[in-house]
Amino acid sequence: MWPYVVAALAALFLLRRWYRERQTVPGLPEKFVLITGCDSGFGNLLARQLDARGVRVLAACLTEQGAEQLRAAASPRLQTLLLDVTSSPSVAAAAAWVKEQVGDRGLWGLVNNAGITTPTAPNEWLSKDDFLKVINVNLIGLIEVTRSVLPLLRRARGRVVNMSSMFGRISFIGGGYCISKFGVEAFSDSLRLEMRNFGVKVSVIEPGWFQTNITNEENIKKHFLDTWEKLPEEIKADYGEKYLKHFLEAFRNMKNLCSPNLSLVTDCMEHALTSRYPRTRYAAGWDAKLLYIPLSYVPSALSDRMLAKHQPLPAHKA
């Protein structure tokens, strides 16, 4: 008897969730959404995806070339602006421009997508500036952009969508990337609670491995080799050439790990912006759902043992 009751309740729960998640907000053609990092990758695809649905997209690009290419691929409704999220004057100018565009309607959505991964290397190899370069884009820039348009988001009772990562839950690479993504998770949690009574919803996107410019093998390898070359000889000797070669081989295999289907991520972003009942967190990609997210919940002693198998041995143990 009880198994049937449990099965029926589970079925009802899943049916209710399925129904709720397919309810969309009305009036999408009147809503403005600001997206950062639209030169390429997720931001570029999301801008075109929302534009096709009639949303009033405000696409922030780092370069004029990126802005021109996006405008050529979208409808005249989509507007672009230049934005460097690490520059306070640039952020302030962008916020003023957005306020002028949206007027009394306010800003329905902000997608903090802009991000970088490099420099990435063992922590000892990196300088303070190497850490700050990544953190200033992925975390401090995200916070400053959000704060600059928060009054507009409150006016529209809108949405904030922050790009995190599976590395925002579990960290096994050095540098500022994982640190910044852990910070994005913390900032999103506090912002979600603060904005709850203002009607603003905050969602976090946690992708697995995907083929974008920030996971480009040649780009990561170049930064990694540059970092190695700057190391003192004694540190190079302690780590050894085999340690270096292990990472270079891993970079060559990265393309096999990364999914080319970027829409798995942008569909999550679109749902967070257009659903009546957006989720708090979206895990994008089977590797995130079946490996990294579960791994983040197991005891550290177990996850450390699993991840340590993929760490190279230093010179004295090789």
**Angle 275-44-222 from CA coordinates, rounded to 5°:** 130
One-letter amino acid for residue 302 of the chain: L
295, 78 Cβ separation under 8 angstroms: no
**Is 243 in the active site?**
no
**Residue whose C-alpha is closest to residue 59's, from 114, 134, 125:** 114
Q: Give the closest residue to 139 by CA, choosing from 92, 186, 96.
A: 186
User: Can you state the angle between helices 141-156 and 176-195, rounded to 10 degrees?
Assistant: 20
Write out the two tokens for 82: 């230049």
Ramachandran angles phi, psi of 107, nearest 5°: -105, 120
Q: Which of 177, 239, 282, 292 is catalytic?
A: 177
DSSP characters over 208-258:
--B-SGGG-HHHHHHHHHHHHHTS-HHHHHHH-HHHHHHHHHHHHTHHHHS
∠ at Cα 212 (67, 225), nearest 5°?
A: 110
Residue type (1 letter), 163: M
Rounded distance between C-alpha atoms, residue 249 and residue 156, angstroms: 49
The answer for residues whose C-beta is within 8 angstroms of residue 304's C-beta and 6 or more apart is none
Spatial CA neighbour of 74 closest among 91, 96, 55, 100: 55
* Residues designated as active site: 177
